Structure formats: structure tokens, C-alpha cells
Amino acid sequence: MPTVFVNGQEITIGDKERLNGIQVAERAGVDIPRYCWHPGLSVVASCRMCLVEAGKKDSATGKITMQPKVVPACQTPATDGTVFVTNSPKVIEARAMVEEDLLLRHPVDCPICDKAGECSLQDYHFEHGREERRADIQPFTSRRRELGDTVTLFVDRCVMCTRCVRFTREVSGTSELMVINRGAHEEIDVFRDENGKLEFPLDNKLSGNVVDLCPVGALGDKDFLYQQRVWFMKSHDNVCAGCSTGCSIKVEENQDHVYRLKPRTNPHVNGYWMCDEGRYGFHHVHDANRVTEPRRLEKTGYVNVEWSVLPQELHAKLKKTSRLAVVLSPHLTVEEAYLLAKYAKSIDSSAVLALGPVPTQGTDEKFKSGFVIHAEKCPNRRGVESVVASLGGSLLNWGDFLGLAESEAFGAVWITGGYKTNWNDDAAVASLANSKLLIVQDCFASPLWDRADYQLPSATFAEREGSYVNYQDRLQSFKWAVRPPQGVKADGQLYWQLLGRTGLYNAAVVVEEIGREIPVFAPAIGGVPEPGVDLKVNQIA
Amino acid sequence: MKPDDSSITWIPEPQLGMTGKMFLPLFVQGLTTTFKHLKKSLGGGTVTTSYPDQEPAIAAPLIYRGVHRLNKDHEGRVKCVACFLCATACPAHCIDIIAAESPWPDREKYPESFAIDELRCIYCGMCEEACPVDAVELTSLYNLTGRSREEMIFDKEKLLSVFDATKDKEPMKSEAFGGTVT
């Protein structure tokens, strides 16, 4: 086992591990400042911020020979006997010089920069920079340049780390960004014609990631630009509901308003990235057209029902019906699907369970780095299917269910939605004409919603709590990020109450219960860790 | 900044002498004022102000902390750049800003809406301290009245009009105190 020394501390690394100075220092609890190095990109060692002293310890004599000059830690491999010193006066001076050089031509317009508060240049300046700026440049307004529909460039704020350029070459494989000019005049840009019009704009489906990658405020997200200062927001771990990839994300909100989504590092699912469709696909959470009142159809029209009496009322009605059918949306979490299916089976042991429509769009898209955007635009088809398969029912798909509903008169049909757009049509309404009691639970009005006997407003992904099972059978749990709008209750809470449970819906308790009852979910027993659990882990023999 | 930072000089608290411990100097100082006023009023002079018939004179209007104003630059545009530092510094959470891209080519960001709840404000002056462009300032207007709570939430137009009303009497403090004037 190779041993590496970081500031005199012995760190043992694995035989096969290929780590650089920054990574090995992280294990020793030492943070080495850097701009250009990112674990998901290639090494260029151009920013010179991670300069450290490096040397070699002779294993036979124990003598340490240091290299005379400071070297970039990102480019120095950690091998047996490598010695790193990150806190010597030489290193401290080198960092201060790099920081001063980067700030020479920087506009220092932090008050109007969206990155302020999470900016590496700011943080490193306070930590490693000089106390005073010796350059006699007054703060000025940065030049701004459009790069595409999603990203804008503040030219003068850039520190030329080229993370964004490398991202488009190595991860998205689209190579829109480049460095123009040389020396002190270097700038990031895209190809333009002689009039400055964009010829090849930054328009790949992963373009939003360059904003996260940018260590300073040079790249701005147009969707988020000037919406909120970052220090006001709280970050909540969540899972993207945009497609069956199920990227680990962070939902950043302030006072129950979601302002942006960011990828969360998860080597098993999305690495460091997420797609633009997922990133900007949260605006329906605050759509003014969301339905926010539980209502019941009377002869005179719809009347509002109080959430406090709704579970008892529904239960009384459903108990009296003969044949029950439940449509489980692939937007439900595993826990919600389980609770609702269990409730349906408790009322009518032969209840029909069907899967809601599974939206698909195009074909799976694979990028250069291996990142995949799936065509299946729902997060939890596999989770819902696994739950139903084990509860002893056969799961119908949406088309089959509508066919069955035409031939058979159901006493009650409970349909769950949660889709972003209108997902059903008048044909579906006509197919369900024979059904006596129609309960529709959804976020937006639709033909089925307008015909429902009970209209129950539903929560969006940011308001839900539970777990999704992604395309590779990885179960990831998350908690709610924002409270639902007034009048809306999270679906899980309603099912929880329908099953006669008291208190608040607790997804962690339910997933534990599912793990004990359904063998497929057994890996989830004992708590689901942050990167999720692989449900196939027991099947690989 | 950490307590052991080399740029901080720590000074021990001076020891109080016997008279200090008995509060004698302060005692004498207070009673001096009392007797001064007593002497003045016995001699026929008044020491109180008949407010509201008579307005009290504010000795230093430039450092008085009254109603806020939003300063304008030399082109008459709002100086504020919507950085939210005042709202961040505000201990009473009475400042509400909505930022937007500015309509002017030489500026990047400006406040689309800027509102201060004058009833919630505690007039501490932290917003003025925090402002990097000297846009929000406290004036010497102190007699603030209104008929409803809504009326006391001053929006951008109102705050700019306070600037117009007070700019002649109270020049921008940045000028007086050597700040950035644009």
C-alpha cells in the first residue's frame, strides 16, 4: 500500500488508486485551492493556484528530497513516498501572488455578480490573498456577451481556467466554446460571423453545467440571473424527476420558492452533471395554473372539501363501492405507490392496479462522457412496477386499463397524476364513462380532472418525500424541499391518513417497511445513504 | 477575521479608580446639567421645545437617522444596483428588493422594485453602512405619519421623491464624507 505524506501526515492509499496532490490532501483534511482542476475534467494545470511543495521520501534511508520549485498539486501524482507540503511560507507566498495576478484585471463588481457568496475568487482572496489590492484599477462594469439561449458570459470576470471549454470538449462532446486571443487578451467565446452574430451558439443539452463549473462569476445562468442572492437560499438534496436517469440534484429555495436546481455529485448516477431539461424543468412548481383546492362534485357543481374531513369522507365512500381500480402514476414515489396500493388492496382485495401513462420523448441520448438523458420522461416507473408486482396484483398499462374500463364498470377509480403537462384527453374520459366514482389527484386541470367526482390537488417533485427507482434499479431517497402551496397536501400524507396512521407521513419509516415486506427493496432496510442503494445488489450471484 | 489575527491590537480595559467605582464623575456630570437647566428656567428661559408648534433643530442632519431616501446619479437614474447588501445587513428584515437587468447600457443590474417598510425599520442605519454605491441614505426627516400600514411601506418612487425633497438641504453624504460619487 503506497504511503503519501501531506504536511507530515501519513496517508495510505489503495494500490490501484491514481490520485493527484489535491485529492490526497483532501483525505488528510487539507484543502488545496484550485480553479482549473475539476475531478470530472482533464488536467491542464494552468491556473497555478494549487502550487505546493513536493518531494520524495527514500524508503530505504528515510531521507526526504524536495523539488526546488513549487509544483501544481493537480498535476503531481501521489505515489509511494511522495511528500506534499501545503503550508510552507513558499506556498503561501505563491498563492498570494497568483491571487493578486488574477485580481489585477478583475472588475471586482461583486455587488452585482450572481456568483458572489459562492465564488472561489472571493473565498480564496480572503483565505490566501493579500490584505490590500495594490493595483490602482477602480471597480468597473464587466463586458457582457451572449453565448446562447441559456448562458451569458461576463468577459472581464473570467480567470481563464478553461473548465467550460474542456467541458464542451470532453463531456458534452460538442466543442462550442474556445479561447480566443493570446496572453493577457485571452477570452472565452463561441464562433461568430464578422458581425458578431452567433454561428455556433452554446446550445447543447448539458449547457447549464458550465455555469456550475465556473469558479467565478464569468458564466451566468440566464434563467437564474438576478433572481436571488445565493446566500439567502437553502439547499435541499433531491432527485430529478425529469427522466428515468434520476440525477442526484440539489433544490435551492428561499421561503418556499425554488430558484434553481443544481447537480449533486453521485458517481453511481450522474457524476457531476445534469441536463438542461432537468435543470430548468422546475417552473411548473410555481405555475399560477396549479390546482390548489380539494373539491367534490355535487349536483349544483363543485364544492370545497376540508382536508381535515377528506380522508374519512373518501374512506366511507370507497368502502361502499364494489370494484376498485387505482392508476399509479410513474411520478409517485415508491412509498406513495406502496401506501396507495396497500390501501386499495385493504378495501378491495381484487382491486385493479394500473400504471399511469409513461411519457416518452425521442430516444435515449448519450454524451461523450457517458452521461445519458433517457427518453422515458418520468422518474419512477420501475419503482411503481416493483411495488405492484409484489403486492400480488398484475399491473396494467394505461392503454390496457382504459380498455378494461370500457368493458367493465368500476365502482370507483382513483387516478394519480403529477405530470407537468396535460396528459390525458377526451378519449380517456369517454373510456371511463362507466365508472361510478372518479377520484383524480393531479397538479393541473385536464379533461379527466374536469370530469372527476373528487378533485384532489397533488404535490410536485420538490414537495414530495420518498424514493425513486431509476433506470438501473438504483433507489434514491429524498426529503421535501419546499412546502406545497396553500390548499395542497403531499400525496403521501393523504395515503398515510387513509391507512389510519396518525401523525405526519414519514417516508423513511415507510421505505423500511417496504424493505421488510418486499424482497426487491431489502437493500433499503436500515436507511438509504446519500448516493442511494442498488436494488440489484442481492440478485447478482 | 479571527481573534488571533495579527492586524488586531488588543487593548486591556482601563482599571477604574476609587471615584470611578463610586460613579462620582458621572454623578457630578448629570447633576451639573440638571442645575444648569434649573438656573436657566429660574431666570425665565425655557429649555423644552413646544413640539409640534415648534420644530426642534437637528444639530447634525448629515448623521441623523430618519426616513430613508434612494439617491439618484447625475443622470437622474436610481443609484442603487440591487446588490441586496442592505437587505442582508438589515436586522429588521424591512427591505424588499426585486432585481432585474437594467435598461441602461452602462449598468448591468438595477432594482425593479425597492420597498422599505418604515414601520418595521428600527432606524439603525446598517443599510446605509452596507451600501457599496451610497444609494440608500437616512435623512433627517423624523416626523413620519401615515393613515395605514400599507401607506408606510415606501416604494422606489416614494424613496426617490424623498431624495428630491431633501437633496438641497442634505447633500449626498458620499460627497461630504469622501465616498464614491458618480
Q: What is the distance between the alpha carbons of residues A210 and A219, in angstroms, rounded to a whole number?
A: 7
Look at residue A344 and tell me if it is in a domain. yes
Contact A225 B88 (CB under 8 A): no
The number of distinct structural domains making up chain B is: 2
Query: Same domain, yes or no, for B22 and B103?
Result: no
Of B7, B83, B106, the CB nearest to A112: B83
Omega of the bond leading into A519 within 30 degrees of 0 (cis): no
CB B98 within 8 A of CB B112: yes
Of B85, B101, B107, the CB nearest to A141: B107
Across the range A98-109, mean pLDDT stands at 92
Look at residue B56 and tell me if it is in a domain. no
Query: Same domain, yes or no, for B87 and B23?
Result: no
Look at residues A260, A228, A256, A259 and name the one whose alpha carbon lies nearest to residue A480.
A256
Q: What is the distance between the alpha carbons of residues A199 and B17, in angstroms, rounded to a whole number?
A: 81
pLDDT of residue B174: 62
Look at residue B6 and tell me if it is in a domain. no
Query: Same domain, yes or no, for B45 and B66?
Result: no
Query: Same domain, yes or no, for A107 and A52?
Result: no
Q: What is the distance between the alpha carbons of residues A377 and A245, in angstroms, rounded to a whole number?
A: 9
pLDDT of residue A72: 97
A255 to chain B, any CB pair closer than 8 A? The answer is: no
CB A381 within 8 A of CB A427: no
* pLDDT band at residue A539 using 50, 70 and 90 as cut-offs: low
Across the range B79-85, mean pLDDT stands at 94
Q: What is the pTM of this model?
A: 0.89
In the DSSP assignment, the letter for residue A377 is: -
Q: What is the distance between the alpha carbons of residues B150 and A68, in angstroms, rounded to a whole number?
A: 69
Q: What are phi and psi of A276, to 5 degrees?
A: -65, -35
CA distances from A469 to A63, A280, A490 (A): 54, 22, 19
Look at residue A252 and tell me if it is in a domain. no
pLDDT of residue B177: 52
CB B171 within 8 A of CB B181: no
- Determine the angle formed by the axes of helices A310-320 and A491-498, rounding to 10 degrees: 60
Single-letter amino acid code for the residue at A437: L
- Determine the angle formed by the axes of helices A334-347 and A491-498, rounding to 10 degrees: 30
Question: Which of B2, B81, B84 to probe the A interface (max A CBs under 10 A)?
Answer: B84
Summarize pLDDT for A345-356 with one digit per residue, the tens: 999 988 999 999
Q: What are phi and psi of A86, to 5 degrees?
A: -115, 0
Contact B108 A231 (CB under 8 A): no
CB A413 within 8 A of CB A283: no
Across the range A516-523, mean pLDDT stands at 92
Of B88, B101, B133, the CB nearest to A226: B101
Contact A229 B133 (CB under 8 A): no
Beta bridge partners of A180: A187
Q: What is the distance between the alpha carbons of residues B88 and B85, in angstroms, rounded to a whole number?
A: 5
A132 to chain B, any CB pair closer than 8 A? The answer is: no
Q: Looking at CA atoms only, how far is residue B60 from chain A in angstroms? A: 30
What is the ipTM metric for this complex?
A: 0.84
Contacts of A131 in chain B (CB under 8 A): 7
Whichever domain contains A512, its CATH number is 3.40.50.740
Percent of chain A with pLDDT over 70: 99
Look at residue B29 and tell me if it is in a domain. yes
Summarize pLDDT for A34-46 with one digit per residue, the tens: 999 999 999 999 9
Query: Same domain, yes or no, for B36 and B99?
Result: no
CA distances from A468 to A32, A132, A274 (A): 36, 51, 17
Query: Same domain, yes or no, for B24 and B100?
Result: no
pLDDT of residue B178: 46
* pLDDT band at residue A135 using 50, 70 and 90 as cut-offs: confident
Question: How far out from the chain centre does Cα A59 lie?
Answer: 46
Query: Same domain, yes or no, for B106 and B154?
Result: yes
CA distances from A33 to A98, A122, B89, B150 (A): 11, 12, 29, 49
Residues 6+ apart with CB under 8 A from A192: A198, A199
Residues 6+ apart with CB under 8 A from A307: A294, A489
Look at residue B5 and tell me if it is in a domain. no
Cell output for A156: 472581464
- Output the 3-class SS for A22-88: HHHHHHCCCCCCCCCCCCCCCCCCCCCCCEEEEEEECCCCCCEEECCCCEEHHHCECCCCEEEECCC
Contact B132 A109 (CB under 8 A): no
Q: What is the distance between the alpha carbons of residues A23 and A40, in angstroms, rounded to a whole number?
A: 12
CB A247 within 8 A of CB A239: yes
pLDDT of residue A459: 95
Query: Same domain, yes or no, for A81 and A111?
Result: no
CB B156 within 8 A of CB B100: no
Beta bridge partners of A354: A327, A396
Q: What is the distance between the alpha carbons of residues A233 and A411, in angstroms, rounded to a whole number?
A: 47
Single-letter amino acid code for the residue at B120: R
Question: How far out from the chain centre does Cα A116 lie?
Answer: 22
CA distances from B107 to A118, A286, B84, B97 (A): 23, 30, 16, 17
Q: For chain B, what is the total number of helices (H) and then of strands (E)?
A: 6, 5
* A388, pLDDT greater than 80: yes
Of A321-325, B8-12, B176-180, least confident by mean pLDDT is B176-180
Whichever domain contains B134, its CATH number is 3.30.70.3270
Query: Same domain, yes or no, for B67 and B147?
Result: yes
Query: Same domain, yes or no, for B70 and B29?
Result: no
DSSP codes, A119-175: -HHHHHHHHHS-SS--S-PPP-PPPEEE-SSSEEEEGGG-----HHHHHHHHTS---
* pLDDT band at residue B175 using 50, 70 and 90 as cut-offs: low
The number of distinct structural domains making up chain A is: 3
Query: Same domain, yes or no, for A112 and A160?
Result: yes
Residue count of chain A = 541
- Output the 3-class SS for A497-527: HHCCCCCCCCHHHHHHHHHHHCHHHHHHCCC
pLDDT of residue B181: 45
In the DSSP assignment, the letter for residue A408 is: S
pLDDT of residue B179: 47
CB-count exposure of residue A8 (10 Å: 0-12, 13-18, 19+): exposed
Look at residue B65 and tell me if it is in a domain. yes
Indicate the helix (H) or strand (E) that contains A390: helix A381-390
Query: Same domain, yes or no, for A101 and A28?
Result: no
A146 to chain B, any CB pair closer than 8 A? The answer is: no
Chain A residue with minimum CA distance to B112: A226
pLDDT of residue A131: 86
Residue with cell 448591468: B108
Across the range B128-135, mean pLDDT stands at 91
Query: Same domain, yes or no, for B24 and B72?
Result: no
Query: Same domain, yes or no, for A76 and A121?
Result: no
> Please, which residues 30-59 of chain B have a Cβ atom closer than 8 Å to chain A?
none
CA distances from A102 to A130, A161, B56 (A): 12, 11, 54
* B176, pLDDT greater than 80: no
Of A130-144, A225-239, B131-145, B168-182, least confident by mean pLDDT is B168-182
Contact A232 B106 (CB under 8 A): no
DSSP codes, A330-359: TTS-HHHHHHHHHHHHHH-TT-EEEEPP--
Question: Which of B6, B109, B110 to probe the A interface (max A CBs under 10 A)?
Answer: B109
Of A111, A225, A226, the CB nearest to B85: A111
* pLDDT band at residue A357 using 50, 70 and 90 as cut-offs: very high
Q: What is the distance between the alpha carbons of residues A444 and A35, in angstroms, rounded to a whole number?
A: 44
Q: What are phi and psi of A159, to 5 degrees?
A: -110, 10
pLDDT of residue B182: 45
Tally Cβ neighbours within 10 Å of residue A253. Answer: 22
On average, the pLDDT of chain B sits at: 89
Residues 6+ apart with CB under 8 A from A115: A157, A214, A216, A217, A230
Task: Tell me the residue range of the domain where A356 lies.
Answer: 295-534
Look at residues A86, A223, A229, A91 and name the one whose alpha carbon lies nearest to residue A149.
A223
Q: Looking at CA atoms only, how far is residue B109 from chain A in angstroms? A: 6
Q: For chain A, what is the total number of helices (H) and then of strands (E)?
A: 14, 27
CA distances from A499 to A90, A316, A448, A454, A507 (A): 67, 13, 25, 19, 14
* A541, pLDDT greater than 70: no
Tally Cβ neighbours within 10 Å of residue B91. Answer: 10
Look at residue A270 and tell me if it is in a domain. no
* A144, pLDDT greater than 90: yes
Across the range A73-84, mean pLDDT stands at 95
Of B88, B132, B133, the CB nearest to A231: B88
Across the range A247-258, mean pLDDT stands at 96
Query: Same domain, yes or no, for B70 and B125?
Result: yes
Tally Cβ neighbours within 10 Å of residue B41. Answer: 12
CB A535 within 8 A of CB A468: no
Look at residue B3 and tell me if it is in a domain. no
Question: Which of A125, A224, A229, A232 to probe the B interface (max B CBs under 10 A)?
Answer: A229
Look at residue A385 and tell me if it is in a domain. yes
- Of A62, A87, A112, the residue that ends a domain is A87
Of A131, A141, A225, the CB nearest to B106: A141
Query: Same domain, yes or no, for A380 and A480?
Result: yes
Look at residue B1 and tell me if it is in a domain. no
- Of A58, A87, A116, the residue that ends a domain is A87
Query: Same domain, yes or no, for A77 and A199?
Result: no
Task: Tell me the residue range of the domain where B27 lies.
Answer: 17-49
Query: Same domain, yes or no, for A411 and A480?
Result: yes
Query: Same domain, yes or no, for B29 and B70?
Result: no
- Of A180, A213, A232, the residue that ends a domain is A232
pLDDT of residue B47: 78
Query: Same domain, yes or no, for B104 and B22?
Result: no
Q: What is the distance between the alpha carbons of residues B26 and A255, in angstroms, rounded to a whole number?
A: 49
Question: How far out from the chain centre does Cα A381 lie?
Answer: 18
pLDDT of residue A114: 94
